Chains A and B, each alone.
Chain A
C-alpha cells in the first residue's frame, strides 16, 4: 500500500527521520518498504504491510504509530467530534442484521441536507498522492477516513433506499447485483448483501450497489461504518475475484470499536469539506461488546524466548508506545492490549513486538546446548544417494523434470483414455499443458533425449545417458498414490546394455537374488505403449517385481524423433531400498592359476542363455569359477532356427593348481552334459 511521507508526519509529533532512514527503520522494525519515490513535494512509500497487521496498519495512523514507537516519539491523533443528533424531517432508517456473527457491529449516520460537490484542494492532493482519484467531497471523505484510520466507510443515498429499511443478510444462490463500478454480479449462497424493502443495494463490505450510490443531486446520505465477518468477506472476494481496499481490510478482521471512531472523525470533517448537513440519526447495532484482552507476560519469558535480557523499564516503555497498558506484578507483567490490535493474544505476540521494536540485531548468536548423541541415520536417503552415485559412476547425467504434464504429452505419447484417467488431475491447472501429475518419469526423459539430440545435430552425436529420481503419481479406488521412482535412458542402447546397468546398480546396493522375466503387460504398473515388448523384461528380486527394463517402443521413440533403439529402465525406488543391504564380506581370491576353455554351442533360437548356463554349472561343479558368455551369433552359416552361444569357462581351485588333465576331464563332462540335449550341439 502507498503511504505519503507528509501525511504520516501529521500524526507524529517529532520530525520524521529522513525518507531513506525512515525506510530502513521500517524495514528493520515493522514492514518491508518495497520502494520510496520522490514526488513534487512529498515522498511516497510503498509498504508491504504484513497480513497479521492489515487490521491496524493499512492506514496512515497505523504506520505513524509504528514510527512513533520505533523512534520513541509521540502520536498526535486526528481531531474528532462527539456525535450529537439534531431533529430532522427524515423518517428513521430501520436496520436489521441476520446474525451478530455475520455483522459484529453496524454503525451509520443519517445526514440530512448535504451538499455534494468538489473536494478542497488539500484533500484531492492527499488522495491523489497515494493513487486514489478524487470523486466528490462525500466519496472522498469516506476514502480519506479509511486511509487515515483503517475503517472502511460507505455513503448511501438515503432517498434511494426504498422503504427506509436495510436488512443485512446472506445472499441466496443466483441473486443479481450491479455494483457502483458497473459490474453485474451473480451471487452465490452466503455472500453478504444489504437489501432495502425491495432489492439488493450493496455487496456488504466490498462494494456499494449502483442503485443506492450518491450523485450530485443527493440531498440526504447514510454514512456507514460497519464491521463484517472477516471469513465471509474473504470467501466472497475470493470467489468473485473482486479486490477492493475495503474488502481487503475487512477480510483481515478489524476492531468493531473502530466504527464509532471513524464516524466521529467524519463528523469533524463534514463542515471542513463543505458537505454540511445535520446528523439526524445514529444507527449503532453492537450486539457483542468487545473487551480489551489482557495478557500475562512472565518476567523471564522474553529472555528465554528471544535470547537476550531486556530491561523491564524498556519492555514497559515499548509496550506503552504501542498503546498497551502495563501493570507490574511480582513475577509477571499484566498487559492490556488496545482493541485495534486484534493480532495480540499470547505472550509470544508480545515477545515479537518487544523484540522487533528493541531490534533483532541486538540479539547475540549463541549456539544451543544440546546432547552430542548422534541422530538416527535416514537409511532411505543414504540408499537414494547411493543410487545417484552409482549412475554417476557409469557416466550418466542426472536430470530434474517437471512434475506436471498435459494434453500435448498425452497425444505425443499415445495415452489411452484409461491411462489418462488413472492420472491425478489438478482442480485448478494453470494451462492444459500442465494439468496432471506425471505417472511416469519416462516421457520427460524421452523428451530430454529428443531435445538434446536436436541441439547437437551438427556436432558429433554422442550417446546420451540420463537418469532421474523423483515421485510419480496415480490414483485408484478413490486413493492417491505417490511412488518414488528411478528412470534411466540410453539413447543408443539395447536390452543387454540396460540389463548390465541393472546388474551393476543392484550389485552396488548389495542386492543379489536378481532375476529377469519375460515382459508381461500389467497396465496398472507400467504403460504398455512404452515398451518394445519383444525386447523388454521385468526385473525381479526374490521373485518380487520391482521394475522394467529394455527397449522403448519404436513408435514412442520416433514421436520424439529418435531413430536408434532407446534403452530404458524404470525401477521402484521404495521397493529397491527395502532390499538394499550394506553387508559385504571379503572373499579371498584363489592364489592358484586359473585355466580357461571355450565352448560354442548351437542351440534353437528360443533357447535361453540361462538354460544353457545352468547345465554347464551343474556339470562343471565347484571348480568352475566363472562362465562368461562372450558371443551370441545368429547367422546364415547355421541351419534355420539355430544360434550359436560361445562361453569362456574358467576353472580354478582354491587349494592347488589344476592339471591339464583335470581341466580336460571336467570340460569333457560339460560337453557331454550339453549334448545330452538332442537339440543342442557342441561346435568343434
Chain B
C-alpha cells in the first residue's frame, strides 16, 4: 500500500477513535505485532538496498508520525474522559453531610472536670467518699449534735437498719449523706495537715421536687488546712476559681451565715461586672471542734471549707432552666453538650 495512503488511513483511525480502548486497538492495528506499519517495517529487510533506503525513511517517518499522533490523541481523549467523569461526580454542597454518631459526656461530668482541673492546678487533691454515711460522719463529727435544730438545715433520708445488724450504738444510724462534708472528717482522720482537698460527689436531701430541687444532686466540697490560713486566703482562692471557671472577670462578696462546722461562716455571692449578685455557695473557717474531733490541735492549724452545688454551676454555665433535665436521660438534651 502506498505510504501516503496508509498515513491518511491511520490519521483517520486515530481521529475516529472515541475512547481510549478504541484508540488502543487502532494503535494495535498499525503498530501492534501484526500492525500494518509494523509489517511494512518488517518487509524492508527484503528490499534492495537502494529502495530500502528511501522506503525505510518513509516508513520510519510514518511510524514516528503515528506515534506522535497517537500520543496527542490519547492525551486529548484522557482529558475528555476525566471531564466526563467530573461531570458525572458532581456534588451538591448544600446537601447534608453524612451523620456520624459522636459521643457525649454529661454536662455535669464536664462541669465537674473543669472545676477539678482548676482546683488541682491550685494544688488540691481530689478525694471521694461513700454515699451511704453514718450519722456520726454526716453530723456529729461536723459539730452538729443530735437533737439540735441545726440539723433541720439538712432534710435527711434515713436508711432502714438492716435486719440482724450488729450496729446499734448511738450515732451509727445510717443515712444518705446530705452533703460532701463528711469526707472532710474522714480525710482529716487519716491525713496530717497541711492539706488541700476537693470532694465532688452525689448528695441527697429530702426535698420536694421542682425545677431547682431534687432528692439527689452534686456538690463539690473544698478544704484547705495550714498555718495561718485566713478568710483573705479563702477569698483569693475562690475568686480565682470562679474567674477560671467562667473565663471572665468576676467579683465575689461574703455575707454572714451559719454552719455548725465553720466559724466564722459565710454565704458567697458572685457577679459578672455590675450585674446582680448571685448566691453561689456556703463556706467558712473550719470550727475548732471539727479539728478536735479529727485529732488535730485547734489553733495550731486553721483552714477554710466550702461547698458548692455543681448542678447549679452547670445550670448557670449552660443556661439550663430545670435541674430535672440533667437526670432525664433525654438524648435531645444530652447530645447538645
Give the contacts of A332-350 with B (CB-CB under 8 A): 346, 348-349
Q: List the A side residues contacting B123 at CB < 8 Å.
A: 370-372, 374-375
Give the contacts of A444-463 with B (CB-CB under 8 A): 444-445, 447-448, 451-452, 455, 462-463
Q: List the A side residues contacting B28 at CB < 8 Å.
A: none
Query: When the two chains form the complex, which single residue of A231, A394, A428 contacts B148, counting CB atoms closer than 8 Å?
Result: A231
- Whole-angstrom CA separation of A444 from B329 in the bound complex: 9
Q: List the B side residues contacting A651 at CB < 8 Å.
A: none
* Minimum C-beta distance from A470 to chain B (A): 8
Is B216 a contact of A388 with CB atoms below 8 Å?
A: no
Query: When the two chains form the complex, which single residue of A367, A391, A470 contacts B236, counting CB atoms closer than 8 Å?
Result: A367
Convert A426-446 into 0s and 1s, putting 1 for each residue whose CB lies closer than 8 angstroms to a CB of B: 111110001001000000110
Is A304 a contact of B288 with CB atoms below 8 Å?
A: no
Which size class do B's interface residues fall under?
35 or more
Q: List the B side residues contacting A88 at CB < 8 Å.
A: none
- Whole-angstrom CA separation of A544 from B105 in the bound complex: 30
Is B103 a contact of A375 with CB atoms below 8 Å?
A: no
Q: List the A side residues contacting B104 at CB < 8 Å.
A: 392, 397-398
Is A478 a contact of B163 with CB atoms below 8 Å?
A: yes
- Whole-angstrom CA separation of A30 from B231 in the bound complex: 17
With A305-B285, A306-B231, A352-B263 as known contacts, state yes or no: A398 contacts B327, CB within 8 Å. Answer: no
Is A368 a contact of B254 with CB atoms below 8 Å?
A: no
Q: List the A side residues contacting B131 at CB < 8 Å.
A: 403, 471, 473, 482
Nearest A residue to B173 via CB reads A427
With A360-B253, A397-B104, A426-B158 as known contacts, state yes or no: A404 contacts B266, CB within 8 Å. Answer: no
B235 at the interface (CB under 8 A from A): yes
- Whole-angstrom CA separation of A211 from B258 in the bound complex: 40
| Chain A interface, number of residues (Cβ within 8 angstroms) | 95
With A392-B104, A398-B106 as known contacts, state yes or no: A365 contacts B230, CB within 8 Å. Answer: no
Convert B105-126 into 0s and 1s, putting 1 for each residue whose CB lies closer than 8 angstroms to a CB of A: 1101100010010001001111
Is B215 a contact of A368 with CB atoms below 8 Å?
A: no
Is A424 a contact of B148 with CB atoms below 8 Å?
A: no
* Minimum C-beta distance from A243 to chain B (A): 11
With A305-B231, A403-B204 as known contacts, state yes or no: A480 contacts B216, CB within 8 Å. Answer: no
With A360-B254, A368-B224, A451-B329 as known contacts, state yes or no: A304 contacts B302, CB within 8 Å. Answer: yes
Is A447 a contact of B125 with CB atoms below 8 Å?
A: no
Is A427 a contact of B334 with CB atoms below 8 Å?
A: no
A53 at the interface (CB under 8 A from B): yes
Is B331 a contact of A428 with CB atoms below 8 Å?
A: no
Q: List the A side residues contacting B331 at CB < 8 Å.
A: 397, 452, 464, 466
Give the contacts of A66-107 with B (CB-CB under 8 A): none
With A29-B256, A52-B150, A480-B159 as known contacts, state yes or no: A455 contacts B332, CB within 8 Å. Answer: yes
A381 at the interface (CB under 8 A from B): yes
Is A393 a contact of B103 with CB atoms below 8 Å?
A: yes
- Whole-angstrom CA separation of A451 from B330 in the bound complex: 8
Query: When the two chains form the complex, which single residue of A234, A378, A447, A473 contacts B126, counting CB atoms closer than 8 Å?
Result: A378
A235 at the interface (CB under 8 A from B): yes
B24 at the interface (CB under 8 A from A): no
Is B162 a contact of A478 with CB atoms below 8 Å?
A: yes
A36 at the interface (CB under 8 A from B): no
Is A395 a contact of B230 with CB atoms below 8 Å?
A: no
Nearest A residue to B99 via CB reads A462
Give the contacts of B249-281 with A (CB-CB under 8 A): 253-258, 260, 263-267
* Minimum C-beta distance from B305 to chain A (A): 13
With A356-B264, A367-B233 as known contacts, state yes or no: A452 contacts B330, CB within 8 Å. Answer: yes
Q: List the A side residues contacting B228 at CB < 8 Å.
A: 304
B55 at the interface (CB under 8 A from A): no
- Whole-angstrom CA separation of A252 from B236 in the bound complex: 35
- Whole-angstrom CA separation of A40 from B35 in the bound complex: 119
Q: List the B side residues contacting A394 at CB < 8 Å.
A: 103
- Whole-angstrom CA separation of A399 from B152 in the bound complex: 32
- Whole-angstrom CA separation of A364 from B232 in the bound complex: 6
* Minimum C-beta distance from A292 to chain B (A): 20
Q: List the A side residues contacting B240 at CB < 8 Å.
A: 367
- Whole-angstrom CA separation of A55 from B308 in the bound complex: 28
Is B153 a contact of A51 with CB atoms below 8 Å?
A: yes
Is A403 a contact of B202 with CB atoms below 8 Å?
A: yes
Query: When the two chains form the complex, which single residue of B105, B125, B130 contacts A398, counting CB atoms closer than 8 Å?
Result: B105
* Minimum C-beta distance from B321 to chain A (A): 17
- Whole-angstrom CA separation of A366 from B123 in the bound complex: 16
Is A381 a contact of B230 with CB atoms below 8 Å?
A: no
* Minimum C-beta distance from A566 to chain B (A): 15
Instruction: Please classify the interface of chain A as helix (H, G, I), strand (E, B), loop, or mixed, using the class held by over half of its residues.
Output: mixed
Is B103 a contact of A396 with CB atoms below 8 Å?
A: yes
B239 at the interface (CB under 8 A from A): yes
With A428-B206, A447-B329, A478-B162 as known contacts, state yes or no: A397 contacts B335, CB within 8 Å. Answer: yes
Is B263 a contact of A365 with CB atoms below 8 Å?
A: no
Is A352 a contact of B160 with CB atoms below 8 Å?
A: no
* Minimum C-beta distance from B122 to chain A (A): 9
Q: List the B side residues contacting A35 at CB < 8 Å.
A: none
Query: When the two chains form the complex, which single residue of A378, A429, A473 contacts B127, counting CB atoms closer than 8 Å?
Result: A378
Is B159 a contact of A424 with CB atoms below 8 Å?
A: yes
* Minimum C-beta distance from B53 to chain A (A): 53
- Whole-angstrom CA separation of A298 from B227 in the bound complex: 16
Give the contacts of A50-72 with B (CB-CB under 8 A): 50-54
- Whole-angstrom CA separation of A251 from B106 in the bound complex: 43
Nearest B residue to A426 via CB reads B157
- Whole-angstrom CA separation of A447 from B327 in the bound complex: 12
B33 at the interface (CB under 8 A from A): no
Q: List the A side residues contacting B160 at CB < 8 Å.
A: 424-427
Query: When the two chains form the complex, which single residue of B116, B229, B253 contacts A368, counting CB atoms closer than 8 Å?
Result: B229
* Minimum C-beta distance from B327 to chain A (A): 5
* Minimum C-beta distance from B258 to chain A (A): 4
Q: List the B side residues contacting A372 at CB < 8 Å.
A: 123
Is B132 a contact of A480 with CB atoms below 8 Å?
A: yes
Can you give 19 A-B contacts (C-beta < 8 A)?
Answer: A30-B256, A234-B149, A252-B149, A352-B265, A360-B254, A367-B233, A367-B237, A368-B226, A370-B123, A378-B126, A378-B128, A385-B113, A388-B109, A392-B104, A395-B103, A397-B335, A399-B334, A448-B329, A478-B162
Which positions in B face A, CB cutoff 8 Å?
100-106, 108-109, 113, 116, 120, 123-128, 130-132, 146-150, 152-153, 157-160, 162-167, 174, 176, 194, 196, 202, 204, 206, 208, 215-216, 224, 226, 228-233, 235-237, 239-240, 253-258, 260, 263-267, 285, 287-288, 302, 326-332, 334-335
Known: A308-B231, A397-B103. 13 other contacts (CB 8 A): A234-B148, A304-B230, A306-B231, A348-B285, A348-B287, A360-B254, A368-B237, A376-B125, A437-B132, A451-B329, A451-B330, A478-B162, A480-B174
